C-alpha cells in the first residue's frame, strides 16, 4: 500500500521514501469514487516518471502515475499515514469530517453524550464502531 505522510507529504511506496518535489495545489482530474474534482497534494519524481498524490473534496485519496513526458499510466490506492494521533472532543472537529463517517443522529448523540445531555445509546454504539475508520481517514482519535 502507498502511504502519504500527513505532515511532510513524503510518499512511502515500494519500501522507498520519496520526498515531495512540489506541494503545488492543482486540479488533476476526477475522483473515480464520487466524480468530484481531484486536487494535487504532492508531486514526487522517480527514475521512471512522476507520482502525484491527490484528494477529492470527500477525502478519497489516489496516487496517479505518469511517465517522464507526463503521459498518464494509471492510478493506485493511497492512504494517509499518521505518525501521531491527536485525541479530540467531538465538538472541536469540523462537521464536514464528522459527516464523512457518521450519520447526523450519531453526531447529535455523540455531542449530547459529551455535554452530559440525554442521548440514544444505540447511536453511540454505532458511532463507536466507526471510530477506527474515522481515525484512519483523518488521524483524529475521538473521545467517546
If asked whether residues 19 and 65 sit together in one domain, one would say: yes
Query: What was the pLDDT predicted at 117?
Result: 87
Cell output for 119: 442521548
If asked whether residues 74 and 12 sit together in one domain, one would say: yes
pLDDT of 81 higher than 50: yes
Query: What was the pLDDT predicted at 5?
Result: 85
If asked whether residues 8 and 76 sit together in one domain, one would say: yes
Mean of pLDDT values over 112-129: 90
Mean pLDDT of the chain: 89
Mean of pLDDT values over 128-143: 86
Three-class SS string for the chain? CEEEECCCCCEEECCEEECCCECCCCEEEECCCCCCEEEEEEEEECCCEEEEEEEECCCCEEEEEEECCCCEEEEECEEEECCCCEEECHHHCCHHHHHHHCCHHHHHHHHHHHCCCCCCHHHHHHHHHHHHHHHHHHCEEECC
Query: Cα torsion at 101, 104, 109, 114 (round to 10°)?
Result: 60
Q: Which domain holds residue 45?
A: 2-81
If asked whether residues 94 and 70 sit together in one domain, one would say: no
Per the structure, how many domains does the chain have?
2
pLDDT band per the 50, 70, 90 thresholds, residue 7:
confident
If asked whether residues 74 and 91 sit together in one domain, one would say: no
Query: What was the pLDDT predicted at 87?
Result: 61
CA atoms within 13 A on the CB side of 93: 25
pLDDT digits (tens, 9 = 90+) for 13-62: 877 889 999 999 999 999 999 989 999 999 999 999 999 999 998 889 99
If asked whether residues 61 and 8 sit together in one domain, one would say: yes
Cell output for 137: 481517514
**What is the rounded distance in angstroms from the CA atom of residue 31 to the CA atom of residue 26?**
14
Amino acid at each position: 500500500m502507498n502511504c502519504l505522510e500527513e505532515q511532510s507529504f513524503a510518499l512511502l511506496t515500494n519500501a522507498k521514501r520519496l520526498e515531495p518535489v512540489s506541494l503545488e495545489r492543482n486540479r488533476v482530474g476526477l475522483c473515480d469514487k464520487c466524480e468530484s474534482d481531484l486536487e494535487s497534494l504532492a508531486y514526487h519524481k522517480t527514475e521512471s516518471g512522476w507520482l502525484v498524490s491527490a484528494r477529492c473534496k470527500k477525502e478519497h485519496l489516489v496516487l496517479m502515475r505518469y511517465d517522464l513526458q507526463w503521459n498518464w499510466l494509471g492510478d493506485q490506492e493511497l492512504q494517509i499515514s499518521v505518525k501521531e494521533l491527536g485525541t479530540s472532543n467531538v465538538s472541536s472537529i469540523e462537521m464536514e469530517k464528522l459527516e464523512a463517517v457518521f450519520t447526523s443522529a450519531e453526531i447529535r448523540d455523540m455531542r449530547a453524550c459529551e455535554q452530559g445531555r440525554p442521548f440514544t445509546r444505540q447511536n453511540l454504539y454505532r458511532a463507536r464502531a466507526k471510530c477506527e475508520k474515522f481515525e484512519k481517514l483523518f488521524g483524529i482519535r475521538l473521545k467517546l
